[in-house]
Amino acid sequence: MFTGKYILSPMVRVGGLPFRLTCLHYGADLVYAEEVIAQRLLKCTKVINETLGTVDFLDEDGGVCFRTTSEESDRVIFQMGVSDPEVAAQAALMIEPYVAGVDVNMGCPKDYSIKGNMGAALLTQPDLIKRILCKLVEVCSKPVTCKIRILDNEEETLSLCREIESTGVAALTVHGRTRYTRSSHPCNYDMIKKIKKELKIPVILNGGSLDITKKGDMTALMKETGVDSVMVARAAWYNPSVFRDPEPVPVREAVQKFMRYCIDYNCPLHILKYTMGKFRGAFKDNESSLEVTRHIETKLIYQYFGLGDYYNEVNSKRKDDVQEEFQRNKRQKLDKDHQILRAEITPTILQSFRGVIAPRQILNQWLEANGFSKPKYWTTECNKIFTGFLQIDNDIFAMEGNFKNKKTATQAVSYAYCMKNHIELRHYKTGARTKTECNCKCKSGG
């Protein structure tokens, strides 16, 4: 299963169903889904989405944690982030009927993985790695794999790989960089060669996108290093038809295919925009991805790529799918239980407060000066988009919008409350106070 394969690497926010199907269409043999934290999966509800023809795992807020379809079920590998063997086993048993295999992320260097004792944090804990993988191999009926990065020390790297092989995993993916090496640095092919010579199980090379623009480059890397298969991330993100033999198609053509899948499977706008940011050559002369993706209406982006009619046709026939119904009920409950704040808040407005006192601090000071109790802030998340909440005494306010992190969501709800109640927003700088007039057009709500 893992020999002579051309594989899509897991990529956060990019590796959703539309992108995976695009890569499969152009010749990828296997596609790894974006990492899902095992604890999050266990809180999900599995639903059959008859409108889209998918199996969806929806989290508590209605966000899609994982979505798949029969078109990929025998070629998609589910990757989890996990630090506990029992949790890993529960997540694997929950997901394995719908995928071709289960993978453990042991190479992600991002803070959220490290702080959760997942990803690259596992590389220095071989005993924990063995317990996780042994448990998965014991309970899973599908192949189990893992993905690592190399260590600074050659012998420690080889020793770790031997320990992993002893667990009974079906294959090992090796990213040829350390936890601290940037993607702009060369991949350490020599170390991957040594790992391959040391192991009997299939070894999958990862990290070679700097040297890959077509399928033939992947084949050349297999021959050069002796590995069994090659996995790519950025090379596929730049052009998802990189798997096509003998040459990829023009990027714009591949992007149009990707966008058709986005329409078919109701891809969220922020995921569409994020993915498009790396497509090279997809846009017209003198026009960047930012100039196109600045549009806040989904249909305008599809129109740019000549898919406006297809978008309208599909959506005119489509009934609300289960996720949309879930989220509509959530919004109705939100409207009933909270005062909804509405304001035109652009990223530029919030960015204008960088280096000065932000809206949340201004509001806190105003509330204290006017005898209110200390406010409470929190957020909820759906499809990696956050809603900010603000409680003042017994009143709860909410601000929905396209906010990509908790900090921005709480600043936005503070800003909207200030505008609704005519609280003057000033920019306070160290040693001076400079008044900055707000020029946004706000709508009161509640």
Selected catalytic residue, list 44, 108, 161, 418: 108
370 CB-contact burial (10 Å; exposed 0-12 / middle 13-18 / buried 19+): exposed
State whether the Cα torsion 389-416-360-412 is positive or negative. positive
DSSP 191-223: HHHHHHHH-SS-EEEE--GGG-SSHHHHHHHHH
* Strand extents, DSSP E, 82-236: 101-106, 144-149, 171-175, 203-206, 229-232
**C-beta separation of 164 from 146 below 8 A:** yes
Rg (CA), the chain: 24
Q: How many CB atoms lie within 10 A of CB 24?
A: 20
Q: Rounded distance, CA 25 to CA 240, Å?
A: 9
Residue 108 annotated to the active site? yes
The distance of Cα 399 from the centroid of its chain, to the nearest Å, equals: 23
- Paired residues of 390 in beta bridges: 377, 397
Q: Rounded distance, CA 342 to CA 160, Å?
A: 54
End-to-end CA distance of the chain: 57
Q: How many CB atoms lie within 10 A of CB 45?
A: 13
What contacts 73, CB < 8 A, 6 or more positions away?
98, 99, 100
Q: Rounded distance, CA 78 to CA 144, Å?
A: 10
State whether the Cα torsion 224-229-235-241 is positive or negative. positive
Q: Are strands 427-429 and 395-403 parallel, antiparallel or unpaired?
A: unpaired
What tokens does 96 get? 């394995």
User: Which residues form the catalytic set?
Assistant: 108
